[in-house]
Amino acid sequence: MTTKNKLSHRVISSVFAHLFSQGVTILTQLGSLPVFLHYWDMQRYGVWLMLSALPIYLSMADVGIMAVTANKVTMLAAKGDNEHANRVFQSALALVLVVFSLVAIAAVILIWSLDIQMLAHPGSRIALTCLTIAALTTAFGGLLDAAYRSAGQYAKVTYYLTTTRIVEWLGSILGVALFGGIEHAAIGYLIGRLASTIVIQRLAQREVQAIKWSFCGANWKDMREMLRPGISLFIFPIATALNVQGMILLIGNTMGPTIAALFNTYRVLTRVMVQLPTLFGKSLWPELSRLYALKEHAKIHSIYIKATAVTIGMSIICAIFLYFFGEQILAIWSHGKIHFQANIFGVLLISAALTGFWQIGMVVLASTNRHQKLSIAFLLASLSSFGLASALVPKYGLMGIAGSLILVEVVMIWATFIFILKAQRPLVLNTL
């Protein structure tokens, strides 16, 4: 098999793995609403969404180290430097265990000492504790991803980690079905996450023998070298969480949990189309890192142009489909419990469609550790959007929040184009 065929085979395998992953994402997002509303009312479901939103920030406690580790280990393995790849991996393993422990202790202390209204609901503190531990465990998923990615088995680890999400989701449903409380849903979720992570780690030790799960090669130099790009990459999920979970918390605190649940339903339905650009981006990520290590810059540029065109086309097609059929889908999905508001849905649809215009560019920069300036632009845009939403919500309600989200997309389209142009300028000039 030629090098080109091998690359195509890995990308296609990754695409199918992410189709499975995105299918599971859509299934769990769409399936959660009718399942939870079968056992709970909108008030309790809104509380669950607010509690679930908080630990998202703690899942980013590795400050982006896992993604940078995956990039660097993949690049080193592509050049045949397995010794250095192991040092980087083991340094990340040591760092994530320290950060995990410190953040977990601090979070549990805060959960059981704070006196806030959201934690007054029965079982809320137990639920938030379980969800927090589960969120922190995602850092180990990043290590598993790095190990398999370095061996060219990105598709396999994607299937494994997706299965983890299925198990944890089923655990939460089982907890609700058997016992009915918010805390029981969280306990079931945590058990599913921990059990799945342990099983996959055992498989990784056997299937990727080039990567050693130990602390022997851990050193401060490698940790320090990963810290700067790691912090920059950490900004992306922080900004994303501000746009998604932050808005839910804002609505919940100003308009109530029921309205938060309504907005989240609209947001989930319109953001289904974002899963497609994300799918292609994640499938290309390890190959872009590998090509960058081998200095195949012309091939990276070609992939960027073609993949961006595909994601823009998919976003437009999905937006048109949801524009005409969104109301019917919502009625069936919620069993008529959530009313359709065309103006809010339409604005959220525009915001979601615009994401496809910059996703691939972000992946090109992030997979090659050239994302620092773009991450700052994303954070500033997200902060501005959140501030605008806070100012608009008293007068315009959900429409003000929906409109403020478009600001982020417009800024990111512009910023990604500028930074990609600068990164590829020598190559573009040579090909003119």
Question: Read out DSSP for 226-261?
Answer: HHHHHHHHHHHHHHHHHHTHHHHHHHHHHH-HHHHH
- Map tokens 């599971």 to a residue: 24
* Confidence at residue 194, expressed as pLDDT on a 0 to 100 scale: 93
User: What percentage of the chain's residues is helix, strand, coil (to nearest 5)?
Assistant: 85, 0, 15
Indicate whether 369 belongs to any domain: yes
Is 62 inside any structural domain? yes
In total, how many domains does the chain have? 1
Pair 234, 201: CB distance under 8 Å: no
Domain-located, residue 16: yes
Residues of the chain below pLDDT 50? 426-432
Residue 77 lies in a domain: yes
* Length of the chain measured in residues: 432
Q: Note whether residue 430 is domain-resident.
A: no
Listed residue (368, 214, 230) closest to 304, CA to CA: 368
* Cα 300 to Cα 287: distance, rounded to the nearest angstrom: 9
Q: Is residue 126 part of a domain?
A: yes
State the CB neighbour count (10 A cutoff) for residue 2: 7
Classify residue 369 as left (phi > 0), alpha (psi -120 to 50) or beta: left
pLDDT value at position 291?
Answer: 84
Number of other residues whose CB lies within 10 A of the CB of residue 26: 15
Would you say residue 108 lies in a domain?
yes
Query: Which domain covers residue 13, as residue numbers?
Result: 3-425
SS3 152: coil
Specify the pLDDT at position 164.
92
Q: Is residue 431 part of a domain?
A: no
Residue type at position 334:
S
- Dihedral over Cα of 375, 381, 383, 385: its sign: negative
Cβ–Cβ under 8 Å, residues 412 and 382: no
Q: Look at the block and give the residue holding tokens 């300036």.
A: 373
- Global pTM reads 0.69
